[in-house]
Structure 1
Amino acid sequence: MKLEKEEPKKSARARIRRERFTMIRSFALADVLTLLNGACGSGSVIAAMQYLITQEGHWLTLALALLPLALGFDFLDGRVARWRKKSSALGADLDSLADVISFGMAPAAIGFAAGLRGGIDVLLLLFFVGCGISRLARFNTTAVSMANEAGKVSHFEGTPIPTSVGIVFVIWILHGLGKTGDAMWLGSTSILGSVIHPLSLIYAISGTLMVSTVRIPKF
């Protein structure tokens, strides 16, 4: 009788061991690259915050440098998935979440750290992030209907969110020239008592293009 009672307990323990870390074990190599993309974006946000605290320029440089690296991982994860012909059920969602951080929140955090801190500036930064989230959501819900007979999407509707790295390069150049912060390029103005730096309009333009219906061929 004692053995009969212990057997179910042993089976339950074995099942728990099998189920432990099942999500991590399900990751494909492409998913690891996607997580590295997200890690770079998260690191960029933290470095931008550290720059705000210390005002040490190398922190802003690090925040800027991590995003091209994130773009590299974002490029590689899709290529590796197609090369190995293996992807996980989490792959698409992981990619979107990582992209929101690396190419949505991180560029906005960098803009704020670099000096775009007026009331209207902040609204435009939030608009940019919202557009990035909307762009990814639209792609995820329409990718199937946009796919060709081979199952591949032939074009993007609206500019892809990784194009925001272009904004990062602009700020990187301005940072190197000493044209950020109080010396922000193009200066600032006040509208109805709220400050706006003309440079923040680049975020508004980028966000608008992301949610537009412009067709961008996918290579």
Structure 2
Amino acid sequence: MATPSTSPRPRHFSMIRGFHLADVFTLGNAACGVGGVLLAMAFMRSQSLAQFYWAAALAPAAFIFDVFDGRIARWRQTHSALGRELDSLADVISFGVMPAALAFAAGLDGGWDCVVLAYFVCCGVSRLARYNVTAESLSEGGDKVKYFEGTPIPTSVVLVGVLALAAWQQRLGDAIWGGAWQLGPWLLHPLVLLFALSGTLMVSKTLRIPKL
């Protein structure tokens, strides 16, 4: 008589069982970030301000998803390593790559601008990696981290707001605020220095911000 198979279930079944309601909101955050990147690219082809505005609007939408995934995880007590990693990956897209892509589409596309934008994204990645490995010690045995070391990466929503304001005032492309400087072989738009400042504040180890 045939015996039931005792082979282990494929790994992807275990992964699906590991998802919680909070993770759905985290994926909503990631979807907003990807949508913002795609709309930024579409704007570069069409120069339709509507697409730029929609891209900018997806940043606060991603922030809302990011806030709710944490609150839901605490409410349902469903914290997990998978959820933490998902949250970091989504934040890199929505609050790192997407603002940088939108800045490039807005006209911060000189050689030095690209260096600064890459620095900004790398700071965001470093900030999240450091947070993940230090979260347990910073929480002091509790369920919640007491403070952030450096500014949280979602603060880049402010940068997106600045770009949206520039678009509203028709100050994109060659008309971008601050103009452009020729430094050696490449151009630098002074406005991109806001991204350098944001990235530097994210990786600061002396700046401590209480987590609400």
Question: With structure 1 as the length reference, what TM-score do the two structures score?
Answer: 0.91
Q: Which of the numbers 59, 64, 68 marks the counterpart of 2:60?
A: 68
Number of aligned positions between the proteins: 211
- Equivalent residue, structure 2, for 1:103: 95
Report deviation, 1:55.
Answer: 1.5
**Is residue 2:88 matched to residue 1:113?**
no
Query: Counterparts of 1:149 and 1:35 in 2: how far apart (Å)?
Result: 28
Report deviation, 1:145.
Answer: 1.5
SS at match of 1:178: coil
* Seq. identity, %: 52
Amino acid at match of 2:5: S
- Equivalent residue, structure 1, for 2:5: 11
**Is residue 2:204 matched to residue 1:215?**
no
Query: Counterparts of 2:21 and 2:27 in 1: how far apart (Å)?
Result: 10
Query: Counterparts of 1:19 and 1:163 in 2: how far apart (Å)?
Result: 36
CA RMSD of aligned residues (A): 1.6
**Is residue 2:195 matched to residue 1:206?**
no
Report deviation, 1:202.
Answer: 0.4
Report deviation, 1:12.
Answer: 5.3
* Cα deviation code 1:5-58 (max 9, x no counterpart): xx3xx5258x54x86633123211000000000010011001111111221211
Amino acid at match of 1:119: G
1:31–1:87 CA contact under 8 A, matched in 2: no
Q: Which of the numbers 73, 77, 83 marks the counterpart of 1:85?
A: 77
* Cα deviation code 1:168-207 (max 9, x no counterpart): 0010111011011111111111111310111000000000
Amino acid at match of 1:175: A
**Is residue 2:167 matched to residue 1:188?**
no
Report deviation, 1:151.
Answer: 3.8
Structure 1 residues 111, 30: CA separation in 2 closer, same or farther (over 3 Å shift)? Answer: same
Amino acid at match of 2:15: M
- Equivalent residue, structure 2, for 1:148: 140
SS at match of 1:50: helix
Report deviation, 1:59.
Answer: 1.3
Unmatched 5+ stretches in structure 2: none
Question: With structure 2 as the length reference, what TM-score do the two structures score?
Answer: 0.94
Query: Counterparts of 2:20 and 2:40 in 1: how far apart (Å)?
Result: 31
Query: Counterparts of 2:39 and 2:142 in 1: how far apart (Å)?
Result: 42
SS at match of 1:90: helix
Q: Which has the larger radius of gyration?
A: 1
Query: Counterparts of 1:71 and 1:79 in 2: how far apart (Å)?
Result: 13
- The range that moved more, 208-217 or 80-89, is 80-89
Query: Counterparts of 2:137 and 2:80 in 1: how far apart (Å)?
Result: 21
